[in-house]
């Protein structure tokens, strides 16, 4: 049987009689005792033997106990040791305060009873043990959090590859009309559920990054109404497929904000998706207005539904992580309970706020987003629209997933582009050197030579005569920054929607 480890106490006192007396008290109580007669000796013993508690007299012949304690706290190797100051002369309250503020954990005035000394040492040992347990637990949680993030990143990559293939395939089918009503319904189901699954994957990763402040906004001056029109264009057919009316009220003029368009789309897509999901019949009202005057003006976006409502006891926590309005056992509404957490975090990052209102179950809900508007002096001048630059291009597609590669190739060829494909990075570089494509769509997670190295090779050997677009299952600003550093012109996250890819090709 392993003997339990004795707690070690370092007794520091220059008075031989006092030091001997304290040694005996501690030894009789079952502690292992070390001793030192000077401050420098105490520092050396603490560094070499790592005692659990240091009983430290304030008055020492070389340096004071106050300085010894301060040096112990500054040294990472001794900073966690419990320190008990003792003194027969420095006993006024200001001296005790100085000792405690200097890092001591307790203070005893000599002479003290043996029982008082033992009880104080045991109390410090309990405190030190609790701190060690808390520190170890914090380290374990940090390691678990790191592994969770690695798992989520890998999960997203593995999910996004098949999602990319499905989304591209349905994009091709949509461009071939059918008279079969059942087939049309099935296509719609596949498209809606694929889009829904892609949003869940994005939300799951984003909430992990946002709660750890790992997301940076890529802001520019933009018209909030344009963002909302994009969101409503997608949301309207979803609402109509569920038998819901969608009423929209917008002001005529632009509402200029400094914002990340992608993140604002995420905010309003989540709110509209929630409204549709929690409304079995009736309608959704979206109202946008401007309040306030120049300098303090705000855009107010209201998303109101006639759905199941929010109970009063749930309403204060509706933006908390994993909170759900639908708490029934069957969980018929679906969702992960993270969408509204993302909404609040993203709105706050834009300098705005979001509130939820409901009169109770069965009486609908309203979410109100307020965002600061730019002053009229800083709003950009309007200009004409960019003309459509779509034409047939020579495109190199480097993708190791065979289904995603074939679906993307078919879609690009359907649009009139000349497409060359490669299943890995080495073949991709070789084809780029011999075929001279105008554009290369390159997956990042390639065997042999990954996408970053492909970009670096092409930039060094071909230069800027080729446009490089990274397409990856690994999302996040870190991946985008690394892609741009490697030489890519743009960074897209799988699954890439056909319309998004079409806009990209048209803008090159």
Residue 118 lies in a domain: no
Residue 121 lies in a domain: no
- 251 lies in the same domain as 371: yes
Q: What is the DSSP code string of 98-118?
A: HHHHTT-SEEEESS--HHHHH
Tell me the pairing of strands 8-12 and 53-57.
Answer: parallel
- 489 pLDDT more than 80: yes
Tell me the pairing of strands 53-57 and 106-109.
Answer: unpaired
Say how far apart CA 367 and CA 442 lie, in whole Å.
40
Say how far apart CA 440 and CA 227 lie, in whole Å.
29
> Residue 281 burial (CB < 10 Å; 0-12/13-18/19+)?
exposed
Q: The domain spanning residue 302 has which CATH number?
A: 3.30.565.10
Nearest to 472 by CA among 464, 483, 463: 483
- 330 pLDDT more than 60: no
Q: Given this model, what pLDDT does residue 325 score?
A: 54
Per-residue pLDDT band for 495 (boundaries 50, 70, 90) equals confident
Q: The domain spanning residue 46 has which CATH number?
A: 3.40.50.2300
More confident residue, 18 or 158: 18
- 69 lies in the same domain as 32: yes
Among 20-34, 231-245, 467-481, the range scoring the smallest mean pLDDT is 467-481
Say how far apart CA 58 and CA 12 lie, in whole Å.
9
Residue 136 lies in a domain: no
Say how far apart CA 177 and CA 116 lie, in whole Å.
89
Among 35-39, 191-195, 286-290, 334-338, the range scoring the smallest mean pLDDT is 334-338
**Sheet (strand 439-443) strand order:** 418-422, 394-398, 439-443, 467-472, 490-493
Residue 104 lies in a domain: yes
Q: Given this model, what pLDDT does residue 294 score?
A: 67
- 329 pLDDT more than 60: no
Residue 411 lies in a domain: yes
Residue 381 lies in a domain: no
- 258-286 residue pLDDT tens: 998 888 988 999 899 889 888 888 899 99
Q: What are phi and psi of 211, to 5 degrees?
A: -65, -20
Tokens of 450: 């990954």
Say how far apart CA 42 and CA 32 lie, in whole Å.
16
User: 420 lies in which domain range?
Assistant: 157-215+389-508
- 306 pLDDT more than 70: yes
Residue 145 lies in a domain: no
- Over residues 79-99, the mean pLDDT reads 84
- 205-256 residue pLDDT tens: 666 666 666 677 778 889 999 999 988 988 888 888 888 999 999 998 789 9
Q: Given this model, what pLDDT does residue 119 score?
A: 93
The answer to whether the CB of 468 falls within 8 A of the CB of 440 is: yes
Please say which residue of 355, 376, 397 terminates a domain.
376
Q: Which helix (H) or strand (E) holds 301?
A: strand 298-305
Per-residue pLDDT band for 41 (boundaries 50, 70, 90) equals very high
Tokens of 454: 């492909």
More confident residue, 466 or 181: 466
- 443-455 residue pLDDT tens: 988 888 999 999 9
- 404 lies in the same domain as 462: yes
- Over residues 409-434, the mean pLDDT reads 91
Q: Given this model, what pLDDT does residue 424 score?
A: 92
- 232 lies in the same domain as 192: no
- 478 lies in the same domain as 506: yes
- 434 pLDDT more than 80: yes
Q: Given this model, what pLDDT does residue 404 score?
A: 84
- 332 pLDDT more than 50: no
Nearest to 70 by CA among 46, 35, 34, 36: 46
If you ran DSSP here, which 8-state letter would residue 244 be given? E
- Radius of gyration (Cα) for the chain, nearest Å? 33
Tokens of 36: 């030192």
Q: Given this model, what pLDDT does residue 473 score?
A: 75
Nearest to 21 by CA among 86, 83, 82, 89: 86
- 90-122 residue pLDDT tens: 767 888 888 888 888 898 888 889 999 999 999
- 371 lies in the same domain as 226: yes
Say how far apart CA 365 and CA 312 lie, in whole Å.
12
Number of domains in the chain: 3
- 370 lies in the same domain as 470: no
The answer to whether the CB of 68 falls within 8 A of the CB of 43 is: yes
Q: Given this model, what pLDDT does residue 2 score?
A: 40
Average pLDDT, the chain: 84
- 173-209 residue pLDDT tens: 877 778 888 888 888 778 777 877 777 777 666 666 6
Please say which residue of 329, 352, 376 terminates a domain.
376
- Over residues 335-364, the mean pLDDT reads 86
Residue 24 lies in a domain: yes
Per-residue pLDDT band for 477 (boundaries 50, 70, 90) equals low
Nearest to 472 by CA among 459, 268, 455, 462: 455
- 359 lies in the same domain as 396: no
- 488 pLDDT more than 60: yes
Residues in Cβ contact with 317 at an 8 Å cutoff, skipping those fewer than 6 apart: 323
Nearest to 224 by CA among 253, 269, 260, 256: 256
- 173 lies in the same domain as 234: no
- 404 lies in the same domain as 372: no
Dihedral over alpha carbons 333, 337, 339, 345 (to 10 degrees): 160
Per-residue pLDDT band for 426 (boundaries 50, 70, 90) equals very high
Q: Given this model, what pLDDT does residue 387 score?
A: 37
- 122-165 residue pLDDT tens: 999 998 888 888 888 988 888 887 787 777 767 777 777 788 88
- 204 lies in the same domain as 336: no
Say how far apart CA 431 and CA 417 lie, in whole Å.
16
Nearest to 37 by CA among 64, 55, 11: 11
Tell me the pairing of strands 298-305 and 365-372.
Answer: antiparallel
Dihedral over alpha carbons 318, 324, 326, 332 (to 10 degrees): 140
The answer to whether the CB of 432 falls within 8 A of the CB of 458 is: yes
Say how far apart CA 250 and CA 271 lie, in whole Å.
17
- 449 lies in the same domain as 481: yes
């Amino acid at each position: 049987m392993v003997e339990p480890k004795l707690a070690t106490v370092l007794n520091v006192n220059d008075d031989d009689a006092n030091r001997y007396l304290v040694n005996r008290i501690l030894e009789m109580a079952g502690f292992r005792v070390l001793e030192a007669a000077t401050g420098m000796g105490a520092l050396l013993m603490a560094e070499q033997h790592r005692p659990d508690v240091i009983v430290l007299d304030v008055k020492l012949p070389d340096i004071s106990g106050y300085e010894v304690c301060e040096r112990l706290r500054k040294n990472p190797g001794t900073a966690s040791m419990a320190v008990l100051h003792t003194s027969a002369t420095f006993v006024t309250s200001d001296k005790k305060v100085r000792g405690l503020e200097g890092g001591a954990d307790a203070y005893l005035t000599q002479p003290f009873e043996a029982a008082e000394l033992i009880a104080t040492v045991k109390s410090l040992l309990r405190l030190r043990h609790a701190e060690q347990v808390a520190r170890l637990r914090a380290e374990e949680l940090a390691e678990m959090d790191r592994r969770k993030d690695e798992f989520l990143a890998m999960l997203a990559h593995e999910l996004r590859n098949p999602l990319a293939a499905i989304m591209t395939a349905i994009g091709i089918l949509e461009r071939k009309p059918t008279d079969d009503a059942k087939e049309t319904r099935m296509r719609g189901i596949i498209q809606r559920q694929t889009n829904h699954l892609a949003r869940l994957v994005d939300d799951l990763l984003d909430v992990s990054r946002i709660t750890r402040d790992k997301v940076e906004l890529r802001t520019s001056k933009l018209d909030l109404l344009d963002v909302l029109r994009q969101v409503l264009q997608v949301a309207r057919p979803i609402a109509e497929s569920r038998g819901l009316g969608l009423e929209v009220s917008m002001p005529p003029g632009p509402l200029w904000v400094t914002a990340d368009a992608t993140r604002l789309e995420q905010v309003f897509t989540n709110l509209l998706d929630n409204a549709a999901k929690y409304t079995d019949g009736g309608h959704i009202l979206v109202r946008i207005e401007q309040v306030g005057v120049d300098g303090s003006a705000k855009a107010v976006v209201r998303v109101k539904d006639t759905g199941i409502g929010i109970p009063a006891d749930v309403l204060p926590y509706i933006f908390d992580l994993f909170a759900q309005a639908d708490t029934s056992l069957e969980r018929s509404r679906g969702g992960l309970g993270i969408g509204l957490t993302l909404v609040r975090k993203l709105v706050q990052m834009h300098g705005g706020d979001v509130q939820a209102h409901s009169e109770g179950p069965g009486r609908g809900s309203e979410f109100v987003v307020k965002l600061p508007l730019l002053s009229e002096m800083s709003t950009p001048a309007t200009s004409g629209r960019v003309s459509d630059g779509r034409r047939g291009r020579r495109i190199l597609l480097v993708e190791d997933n065979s289904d995603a590669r074939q679906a993307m190739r078919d879609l690009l060829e359907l649009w009139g582009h000349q497409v060359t494909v490669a299943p890995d990075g080495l073949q991709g570089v070789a084809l780029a050197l011999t075929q001279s494509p105008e554009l290369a769509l390159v997956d990042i997670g390639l065997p042999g030579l990954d996408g970053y190295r492909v970009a670096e090779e092409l930039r060094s050997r071909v230069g800027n005569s080729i446009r490089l677009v990274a397409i990856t299952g690994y999302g996040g600003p870190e991946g985008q920054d690394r892609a741009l550093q490697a030489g890519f012109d743009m960074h897209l996250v799988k699954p890439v929607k056909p319309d998004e890819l079409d806009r990209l090709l048209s803008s090159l």
